[in-house]
Amino acid sequence: MLPSLQGFEPILLFLIVLLIFGPTKLPQLARGLGQAIYEFRKASQGLTEEEKKKKKELQNVDEETLRKIAEKLGVKDAEKKDKDALITEIVTEAKKKGILDEVKA
């Protein structure tokens, strides 16, 4: 990260950029930088919204359904585990059996 710029340094930096890119390219450069920042923020918000949506979908699945899935995958003592432990076990078993690889493809 750049150290904090004080006094004459920002003006000097602006002049160097102006000499390198020229006065006609500078507005295009600033516009492109602004658009890149906008797209980055938009994409990062999209990821967090997707994660929230997936968590909400998982919360809607009841424990009985999770137990049935766990039993079909061969998870031991599924009836004694809580919802979070069941989800973890189901994902682990699905990875071992290659089921998740089939879903991703």
List the structure tokens of 25. Answer: 């390219």
**CB 78 within 8 Å of CB 67:** yes
Structural domains counted in the chain: 2
Highest mean pLDDT (candidates 1-10, 47-56, 78-87)? 78-87
**Model pTM?**
0.41
Beta carbons within 10 angstroms of residue 30's beta carbon = 12
Q: What is the CA radius of gyration of the chain?
A: 26
Give domain status of residue 44, yes or no.
Answer: yes
**Which pLDDT value is given to residue 63?**
80
- Shared domain check, 36 and 11: yes
**CB 86 within 8 Å of CB 78:** yes
Q: Domain span at residue 102?
A: 61-105
In this predicted structure, the answer to whether residue 35 has a pLDDT above a threshold of 90 is yes
- Shared domain check, 26 and 46: yes
**% of the chain surpassing 90 pLDDT:** 6
Distance CA 89, CA 104 (A): 19
Q: Please report which confidence band the pLDDT of residue 1 belongs to, taking 50, 70 and 90 as the band edges.
A: very low
CA of residue 3 relative to chain centroid, distance: 29
